[in-house]
Each structure stands twice: as C-alpha cells, then as structure tokens.
C-alpha cells in the first residue's frame, strides 16, 4: 500500500519543481503530517491530480492509462480557504483529461468537465471520447452466443447533461444529449459452431460491418441528491431517472429509446463504519431490436464482470458495499452484487444471474475535498480483475 501511495506522490510532484520545502508545504497535511494533495490542487495554478489507470478489463485485455483531474476554485472558495473557514466542499469546476491503451489494440483519448455553478443550483456534466475499441460481444439481434465475436468500434462520442435545482430542494431536473458515430468492423475472423446462430449473427454483421452508424439522442432527466459529497459520498441518497430518444429528426440513423432508473444509498452508521447499496435498471425501447448494433444495448456493469458480457434490452443490477474506516485516512471495503440481462423486463426473473464479490482499500488523498484513491479486487463468474479507484466506487 505504501508503495502505491509513494508512487502517486511522486507523480503529483512532477507537475512543479520538486524540493523538500515544496513537498512539505503542498503535499503534507499540517493537521496530521500525512500525505495530502489538497493545497497542491487548490493553491497552485494549473495543478492536477494524475490518476494512474491500470486496465484489467477482460473485454479489452490488460492496459495502462493516465487521467489528469484538474480542480478549479472560485474566488469565494479561495477566500474561505485563506480565512480557514473552507469546509470539505468541491470546487466550482473539475476538468478531466485522459489517455489509455490495452494489449488487444484498444486505445482512446477522453476529456470531461463537471460544473457546480451558482451555489450548486446548476450542474453540468460533459464528456467527449475518441476511441478505437476492440470488444468481445456475446449478444446479436436477440441471440446470445457462447463464443464471443470481437468487434472494432471506432469513432467519436459525446455526452452532456445540464441540470437545474428545484427551489432549495435536493431535486434537480434537466436535459441530456448523447451522440455517437461508430464505424463497426470485425477485429478478427470468426467461426461460430452453431449453424443457426452462425446464420443469424452473420446476417446481422453483413447488414452493419463497414458502415458508419450515427446515433443522436435528446432526453430529459430528474434526480434527487442528498449526498454529502457528490464525488466521494459517506452519507445521503442519490436517485435518478432519465429517458433519451434517438431519431432521424435529431440526426440519428436508428430510431429507439433508452432509459435508466438508478438508486445509490449511503449510510454513515458510525465514525468507523459505512454501508452503501446500489441498484439500477436499464432498458431499450425499440420496435425492431434486430437492427440495433450490439454496443447500443445496456449490460451488467459490475466490478469483476467483463463489459458487454451480459447484455439485453432489459438489465437489472444490485450491489452492496461495506466500508470500515480504520482511521481518518485509511478505509477498507468489501462488496458483492449481481445482475441479470434479458430481452424484456418480464424475462428478467428467469435470466442467468451474474454475481461478483471483492474487497479493496481507500486512502484520503485530498482531505479538503473528501477525495479518496485506492484499489479494488473483484471476482466475477469468469474472471478476476483489479481497479484503481478515484472517488466513489459508483
């Protein structure tokens, strides 16, 4: 553990001239003498927290990446901090820039921005991604196959959300915009053993390979958020629902709708113990699902389970996590969950259950913002994977 934290500290200090005085002034918390990047992130211009990304995702293979997290304080927050009155709150804006690559040829660059504006009455979230992905898919045109088909997905994608607080309540409402342009191709030659599935999959691939498929969507969202910290919550609730329509009237090559219902629950049981519960339901509303490319379908999203391994037009997931706070800085967690994917909500009860379990640790890296970093190790039905985590698990 200490080796990992030391590595992070060395990476952070490379953003400015390294000296003993600099490290003591900006990377050590005077309250407990421990490693802490709060002053580095808030008091130096263009300072950032580099988050190393070790990718062990079975769907794309092992790989490496780096994500820079930039914190931007407002003048009011800076004044509060100088006066010693600043609580552990997030800055008005957080920017993210990252790059990653894996052993199966997957690579990509991404940028994002989070805005908490006008005393947190307006929130913005936007991400842009230019990927070149090689992913294993198991679901095509309503058929699930045992042997994966590796597809190459190439092209830009973007997601934006703008939300407005309802009076002074925890409720927010807003709009969501989504855009993808994907060129779909085979990443490798395939031979499927089942003739019936082979014919169905081959027909689907013949209809889509080599095409640039554009999906453009616009929708609405509502959420209830009483979390004490949106990036690393210890207590509070987050419930959200959204519906996005994709149609030719807004520039989409495909006509369908997607929706999500999500609930995150955090309970601060006492000063040493936290408990969290997540559940989520994702669905796709399409008259002819056989025309939908596989990357449009939702999937069981749990630590330790390969991305897009379990897909369907209806997906339900639940996960619990318990955290023991050994000290103000060190926290240890254990988690377990399960998910199901089916062609409709009525078929979920009979669908295969994909379970996961695992454990990890967190270190409070920026006390001022409640920002934690750590590692999770998770086991799914087929694989074991580990993840470097920054902020909340979900």
| pLDDT tens profile 273-314 | 999 999 999 999 976 666 788 899 999 999 999 999 999 999
Taking residues 381-385, what's their average pLDDT?
Answer: 88
Task: Decide which of 264 and 32 is more confident.
Answer: 264
Q: What percent of the chain has pLDDT over 70?
A: 84
> What is the phi/psi pair of residue 163, to 5°?
-125, 150
Taking residues 62-91, what's their average pLDDT?
Answer: 68
Nearest C-alpha neighbor of 331 from the set 341, 317, 321, 340: 321
pLDDT of residue 331: 96
Taking residues 97-105, what's their average pLDDT?
Answer: 93
pLDDT of residue 238: 97
pLDDT-based confidence at 76, cuts 50/70/90? low
pLDDT-based confidence at 81, cuts 50/70/90? low
Nearest C-alpha neighbor of 300 from the set 321, 285, 317: 317
User: Which of 65-79, 102-116, 227-241, 243-257 shows the lowest mean pLDDT across its residues?
Assistant: 65-79
CATH fold for domain 2-390: Porin (2.40.160)
Question: Which pair of structure tokens corresponds to residue 120?
Answer: 């947190």
| pLDDT tens profile 8-23 | 333 333 344 445 677 7
Taking the C-alpha atoms of residue 66 and residue 51, their distance in angstroms, rounded to an integer, is 6
pLDDT of residue 13: 36
3-state secondary structure the chain: CHHHHHHHHHHHHCCCCCCHHHHHHHHECCCCCCECCHHHHHHCCCCEEEEEEEECCCCCCCEEEEEEEEEECCHHHHHHHHCCCCCCCCCCEEEEEEEEEECCCCEEEEEEEEEEECCCCEEEEEEEEEEEEEEEEEEECCEEEEEEEEEEEECCEEEEEEEEECCCCCEEEEEEEEEEEEEEEECCCCCCCCHHHHHHHHHHHHHHCCCEEEEEEEEEEEEEECCCCCCCCCCEEEEEEEEEEECHHHCCCCCEEEEEEEEEEEEEEECCEEEEEEEEEEEEECCCHHHCCHHHCCECCCCCCCCCCCECCEEEEEEEEEEEECCCCEEEEEEEEEEEEECCHHHHHHCCCEEEEEEEEEEEEEHHHCEEEEEEEEECCCCEEEEEEECCCC
pLDDT of residue 82: 54
pLDDT-based confidence at 332, cuts 50/70/90? very high
Question: Which pair of structure tokens corresponds to residue 166?
Answer: 């309802």
Taking residues 337-349, what's their average pLDDT?
Answer: 94
What is the average pLDDT score of the chain? 84
Task: Decide which of 43 and 324 is more confident.
Answer: 324
Taking the C-alpha atoms of residue 176 and residue 250, their distance in angstroms, rounded to an integer, is 13
pLDDT of residue 194: 63
Taking residues 333-338, what's their average pLDDT?
Answer: 98
pLDDT at 376 over 90: yes
pLDDT of residue 50: 77
pLDDT of residue 11: 36
Question: Which pair of structure tokens corresponds to residue 75?
Answer: 């003048």
Work out the angle at residue 110's Cα, subtended by the Cα atoms of residues 256 and 133, and round it to the nearest 5 degrees: 65
Taking residues 361-372, what's their average pLDDT?
Answer: 88
Q: What is the pTM of this model?
A: 0.84
| pLDDT tens profile 153-199 | 999 999 999 999 999 999 999 999 999 999 988 877 666 556 666 67
289 neighbors 141 (Cβ within 8 angstroms): yes
pLDDT of residue 38: 76
pLDDT of residue 74: 66
pLDDT at 218 over 50: yes
Taking residues 321-328, what's their average pLDDT?
Answer: 95
Taking residues 106-110, what's their average pLDDT?
Answer: 95
> What is the phi/psi pair of residue 198, to 5°?
-60, -45
- Neighbour tally for 139: CB within 10 Å: 22
Q: Could you tell me the residue ranges of all domains in the chain?
A: 2-390
């Amino acid at each position: 553990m200490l080796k990992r934290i030391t590595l992070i500290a060395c990476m952070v200090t490379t953003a400015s001239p390294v000296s003993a005085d600099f490290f003591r002034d900006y990377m050590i918390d005077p309250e407990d003498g421990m490693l802490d990047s709060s002053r580095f992130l808030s008091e130096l211009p263009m300072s950032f927290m580099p988050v190393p990304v070790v990718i062990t995702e079975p769907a794309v293979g092992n790989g490496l990446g780096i994500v820079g997290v930039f914190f931007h304080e407002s003048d009011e927050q800076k004044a509060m901090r100088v006066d010693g009155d600043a609580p552990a709150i997030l800055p008005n804006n957080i920017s993210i820039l990252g790059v990653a690559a894996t052993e199966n040829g997957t690579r990509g660059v991404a940028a994002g921005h989070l805005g908490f504006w006008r005393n947190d009455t307006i929130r913005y979230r936007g991400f842009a991604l230019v990927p070149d992905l090689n992913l294993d898919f198991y679901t095509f045109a309503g058929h699930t196959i045992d042997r994966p088909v590796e597809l190459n997905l190439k092209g830009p994608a973007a997601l934006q959300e703008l939300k407005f607080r309802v009076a002074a309540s925890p409720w927010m409402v807003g709009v969501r915009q989504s855009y993808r342009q994907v060129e779909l191709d085979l990443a490798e030659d395939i031979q499927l053993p089942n003739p019936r599935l082979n014919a169905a999959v081959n027909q689907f691939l013949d209809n889509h390979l080599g095409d640039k498929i554009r999906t453009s969507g616009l929708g609405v969202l509502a959420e209830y958020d009483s979390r004490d910290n949106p990036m690393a919550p210890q207590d509070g609730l987050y419930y959200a629902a959204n519906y996005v329509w994709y149609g030719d009237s807004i520039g989409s090559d495909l006509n369908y709708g997607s929706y999500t219902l999500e609930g995150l629950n955090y309970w601060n049981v006492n000063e040493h113990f936290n408990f969290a519960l997540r559940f989520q339901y994702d669905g796709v509303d399409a008259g002819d699902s056989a025309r939908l490319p596989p990357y449009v379908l939702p999937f069981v999203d749990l630590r330790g389970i390969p991305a897009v391994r379990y897909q369907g037009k209806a997906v339900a997931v639940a996960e619990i996590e318990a955290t023991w706070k050994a000290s103000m800085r060190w926290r240890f967690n254990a988690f377990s969950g399960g998910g199901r994917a089916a062609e409709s909500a009525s078929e979920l009860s009979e669908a295969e259950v994909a379970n996961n379990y695992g454990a990890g640790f967190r270190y409070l890296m920026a006390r001022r913002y409640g920002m934690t970093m750590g590692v999770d190790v998770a086991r799914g039905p087929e694989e074991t994977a580990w993840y470097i985590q920054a902020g909340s698990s979900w």
